[in-house]
Amino acid sequence: MQGFVKVAKMHELTPGERKLVELEGVRIAIFNLDGDFYAIEDVCTHDGGPLVEGDVLEGGQIRCPRHGARFDIRTGQALSMPAFSPTATYEVQVDGDDVWVEAPF
């Protein structure tokens, strides 16, 4: 799968689970939301908070553990202050039991 990196097995990432990986120096948080996989850069655009450590809220949102900004895990969009800019998203593909994420570069 060109341009993608294998990052997990499906059974490691059951619905509601998350995993942090680092690819080429970029921290990427991978989420399983009700069976669908998403990947966002693990950097809050307010002040660099580790999004993977936040609470997952209804509607596929993650709340930054530092100051509470909310982001849409599916789109990376910032949904509340104090963050205004989106965080990067990466495509995720599943092949058999393997979860692959788009390489950041």
Q: Given the rule CB under 6 A, which residues bind ligand FES?
A: 44, 46-49, 64, 66-69, 82-83
Q: What is the dihedral of CA 27, 28, 31, 36, to 10 degrees?
A: -170
- Closest contact distance (angstroms) between CB of 74 and ligand FES is 18
Residue 45 near residue 78, CB atoms below 8 Å: yes
Question: Which C-beta is closer to ligand FES: that of 48 or that of 59?
Answer: 48
Instruction: Report d(CA 71, CA 59) in Å as an integer.
Output: 10
Question: Which C-beta is closer to ligand FES: that of 8 or that of 62?
Answer: 62
Helix (H, G, I), strand (E, B) or coil at 47: coil
Residue 51 near residue 29, CB atoms below 8 Å: yes
- Closest contact distance (angstroms) between CB of 94 and ligand FES is 29
Phi, psi dihedrals of residue 39, rounded to the nearest 5°: -135, 130
Question: Which C-beta is closer to ligand FES: that of 47 or that of 97?
Answer: 47
- Closest contact distance (angstroms) between CB of 83 and ligand FES is 6
- Closest contact distance (angstroms) between CB of 79 and ligand FES is 11
